[in-house]
Amino acid sequence: MPSHAPDPAAYFAFRDRLLGPLRTTVLTGDQLCEAGRLIYGEPDGLSLYGIAAPDMAAKGITLLGRTTIECSVDAYVAPVADALADQLAATALEGPDADAPLIVDLFCGSGNFGYHLGRRLALPVQATELDPAVYATTRNNLERIGSAMTLHPVDYRDLLGKLPAASTHDTYVVEPPWGPAFTASGLDLTRTSPPVPEILQDIRRSRDGLSCHVAIKTNDQIAHDSLARSFAGAEHLATLTPPPQLPYGANMDFHLYRLNA
C-alpha cells in the first residue's frame, strides 16, 4: 500500500457518494481509479483478485459503488490469508480429520477474502450473496478470473442448512453488512445485519456438535466491547492488522476464533 494516506475529508465525502447515489451503480474505469486514489492513496491501491483498478475495465471486472468501499483489497487480504492458512495448519496438527475442511464465505460481497483464503489453502469455497446486484457483479468477476468459488444467491442460513459439517477445521468467513453498526463510537457487532452473535448461533446449530473456525473482518475501532461479547466462550487464535492507511475507525482488522459447539 502507498506510504501516504488519503485526505480524511476527501475519503469520507467519497465514501458517502459510494454508499449513497453510487451505491448500486457499476463504476466506470475512471471512477475505479478515482476510488483507488481517494481511498488508498493511488489507483493501484484498489486491487481485487490480483487485478488493480487501472486494469479492471479491460479485464471485465465490475464493481458497484457499495462494493468498492466495502471490499477488502488484495494488500489487506492476501497476507491475511497467508497468516490464517498458517494458523489453520497449526491447529490441524492437533487432530486431523478424515474429510477435507469446508471453507464457507457467508456474506461474500466482492468475494476477495474468500478467494484468497481458498486459493492459499488450495480448497474450494462455498459462498452466499443475497443482494441481487452484488451477486451479479461478483459472479461475473469470479467467472472472469476462473475462480473455483461457488457463489449461491441465497440467505446464509439456507447455505448452512445444505452444508453438513465436514471437519473440526471447517472455516467460516463472517463479514455481514455493517449498516447501522458503523457508528461514531466504533463498530458495534451486535448491530450488524444480521447481528454477529446471531450468525454465530446459526453456525453452531448447523455443526451437529463439531467445533469450527470463524474468520471475521472488523474495523480498528470496536464499540461497547462487542467483539469480545459476540465471541464469548470462543477461543481467540489470532488478530491480524494490515498497516493502517485510512483515517482511524476505517482501517481493517481480521480475527480468527475457534468456535466451540
Across the strands, what pairs with 151? Answer: 127
Query: Which residue in 151, 85, 72, 148 sits closest to 117, CA to CA?
Result: 85
Q: Is the pLDDT of residue 208 over 50?
A: yes
User: What does the alpha-carbon distance between residue 2 and residue 210 come to, in Å, rounded to a whole number?
Assistant: 42
Q: Is the pLDDT of residue 100 over 90?
A: no
Question: Over the stretch 38-92, which tens digit does the pLDDT of each residue have?
Answer: 888 899 999 999 999 999 999 999 999 999 998 999 998 898 889 888 887 777 6
Among 44-53, 85-94, 170-179, 190-199, name the one with the lowest average pLDDT.
85-94
Q: Is the pLDDT of residue 261 over 80?
A: no
User: What does the alpha-carbon distance between residue 177 and residue 24 come to, in Å, rounded to a whole number?
Assistant: 15
Using 50, 70 and 90 to split pLDDT, how confident is the model at 139?
very high
Q: What percent of the chain has pLDDT over 70?
A: 93
Average pLDDT over residues 111-133: 94
Predicted local confidence at residue 94, as pLDDT = 59
Across the strands, what pairs with 176? Answer: none
Q: Is the pLDDT of residue 234 over 70?
A: yes
Predicted local confidence at residue 183, as pLDDT = 83
Average pLDDT over residues 136-160: 96
Predicted TM-score (pTM) above 0.85: yes
Q: Is the Cβ–Cβ distance between 231 and 206 less than 8 Å? A: no
Q: Is the Cβ–Cβ distance between 18 and 65 less than 8 Å? A: yes
Report, in this order, helix, strand and coil percent for the chain, each rounded to 5: 40, 20, 40
Higher pLDDT, 158 or 148: 158
Predicted local confidence at residue 3, as pLDDT = 46
User: What does the alpha-carbon distance between residue 100 and residue 226 come to, in Å, rounded to a whole number?
Assistant: 32
Q: Is the pLDDT of residue 245 over 80?
A: no
Among 108-112, 177-181, 255-259, name the one with the lowest average pLDDT.
177-181
Q: Is the pLDDT of residue 98 over 60?
A: no
List of residues 6+ apart from 72 with CB closer than 8 A: 110, 112, 113, 175, 217, 252
